[in-house]
Structure 1
Amino acid sequence: MNKHDDDLSTRLIHHPYKPPAGFEAVAPGVHKASTVMFPDVEALRTYDWKDKSGYTYGLHGTPTTFTLEERIATLEGGEHCMLAPSGLSVISLVDMALLRQGDEVLLPDNAYGPGKVFAEVELAAWGITHRFYNAMDPDDLARRIGPATRLVWLEAAGSITLEYPDIPALVERVRQANAQRSGDRPVVTALDNTWGAGIAFNAFDQGVDVSVQALTKYPSGGADVLMGSVVTRDLALHRKILLTRMRLGLGVGANDAELVLRGLPSVALRYHAQDATTRALATWAQQQPGVARVLHPALPSSPGHDTWKRDATAAACLFSVVFDPAIAQARIDAFCNGLRLFRLGWSWAGPTSLCAPYHLASIRTQGWQDAGGLVRFAVGLEAVDDLRADLAQAWTALHCKPDPFPSPQT
């Protein structure tokens, strides 16, 4: 190839230089691709991305995304992992892969709200029915499993109200139902494991078939990326969901995968640090005026505490305060507006503490209709004394005098 100016574009695109092999660093390489090059026609026809033995197209995987998938599978104690663009997308992906017209899905009443809405709107439009069950009553689940049931969602702890269910008992009820039916489509259990993150407990040791996570939360840790994962131990189940992902055209960008890979080495440290701060704040909040209840699985008064103590080793960064019904919502809103370190925003597990008010009667059908206003707190990485001082100064908006703020030495 000559070096004339009119050949410059071609020479830049087909430049012969290749860096030497053997480079190794702490951070995995970031491989960006839509098109993937094949060495010959035989490779183009035979390379298989499904078992990670080869690369065919950027949507189906690169060294960067394959590396992240393997590490997430290890984090959760599974064998197979696939990535998708968000936590909600992996919930929807599992629904679409495992359900078809005439099927039924059962969801806990305290499941993640957008996942419930997906069942109520999209799945319903496709002829797939749904019902809600009481996650704290395994026998209620057993009574609701019918001939059309094909998928049971689990969530630990429950969204917003943080009830901790007996996962092994719920899974056992599904196994009993499967033992009594014939056919080749047993009921599958799928857990939203975003709260546990593979750290608080091992979902597969507790018997679930599928574990999904919003990697947006703990694995990323930076509040700057959206991603989800689906992990299984069963290869056939993995392949079924994987091929649905392929047909839907779901993929993740290399730079997003890079951010999650960078967050993973510190995920356990962050999880336990935020857990410790959250327990301290939740315990303090229990003693404050105007509080009807504090919800956090490590608190003895929180629903499912004994089960959490039996089955889990940690408790994440969330706690919710249910206020006395006599406290008007406007005062609760003023309390939230008065916070300085706890910012108003959705999501959690990032470095910045967050809060958000909820109206329980509008998001629950079971058990919370007469409760007062609720504020969910997501604890970040700030110092515990600073966060406690922030809560104390905002408490004045409730027209309730908080307990004296302890000095850092106490």
Structure 2
Amino acid sequence: MHFGIYLWVYHVKLDHRGPRMKKVYSVGCLLCMIVLLSGYPEEVGEVSYLQQGATLVRNTKPMQIDFSTPIENYDLVKTNSSGLVEIHFYEETGIQGSLLVKPSSSLYIDLSLLSEGGKARIELLSGSVTQKAIKLTGKSSFEVRAGNVSMGVRGTTFEVATAPDGSILIACEEGQVRCEAEDGTTLFAEPGSAVEHTPERGFRNIPIMFQDLETFRRNWHAERIEAFRSNPHRALRNFANRYLEMKGKFDEAYKTLMARYEILDKWFREDRAGRTGALSEVLREKRLIVGPLLQLRKSSFLFEKVYYRLLELREYYKQGMIRGDLGNGMTVEQFFRRFDNEAVDLEEKMNVFRHTLKLFAKRNDGISIIDTMEN
């Protein structure tokens, strides 16, 4: 926003100068443009509450979290079984409120700074999250995406929870949450009526009967765990088959992006030095990298969530709950042996991908690659 206004003021001044002065001020405009690009605000909020057992991955590097730790765009926030993190959004994002990351959860924030306001997407990879007193200024928007369901709000407190079998619950204390499934079906979560998506019952509204939201969520999660325990092979077979199908597409898309490694390497070096290239360089580099990056974004959207679901299922495998044949030519043991062998490499690729999304937005006036294509 400040970037556009600043250039407009400069153009007013240019109209009152001679040809020579216009050239000088034009150069000044370009220099200011480069400076403002490098000044793109990466921080979207900070940690306002913390229980030990949380970490984050920033720019491919793991970090410890403490009180008041700034949270940057595309940081991967992870909690273990005892961890709890509350993230308070900075008002400059156009979003007022906080995000409570529950135990055993993983997510990252994708925030675009559009001219009409912030556009935040919370990618919930696993676990549960509560959005507390979310209020939006101007035309800002806030969306949570879990599995193949997206949730959009304009101002409310609501919770999104996931279960090992891929089930999703959306419930709110006030207001209304719009929930959209992959096929375009839309339902609304309201006080007294939650939305769930389960393998056996599909996408539907369910009543919240005489319970507070936290009790209802715990009971729902316990029910989903029991459903999973009754047939753990079904859930694992579903996610294992999706993993095997999607991984090849992800690897191919990543390989295509790496064909532009000279650009990525330049961006990484510039990032460490705290700068960006000249405007002409940035425009050329974005043009060359936007196609491969979009293709990888498309391949990774559901694949990331499948991967994190399998991390959760792996814990049940270690407990001896899932054994035997998967019906796809592999036993459970063979699948998880392969999964474990590929896990480190996959997480490294996903971290590089998120870092690249961040560096693209930094060179794109704070606008994510998704919103670049939509606008």
- Normalising by structure 2, we get a TM-score of 0.26
Which of the pair has more CA radius of gyration? 1
The higher-RCO structure (CA 8 Å, 6+ apart) is 1
Is the strand fraction higher in 1 or 2? 2
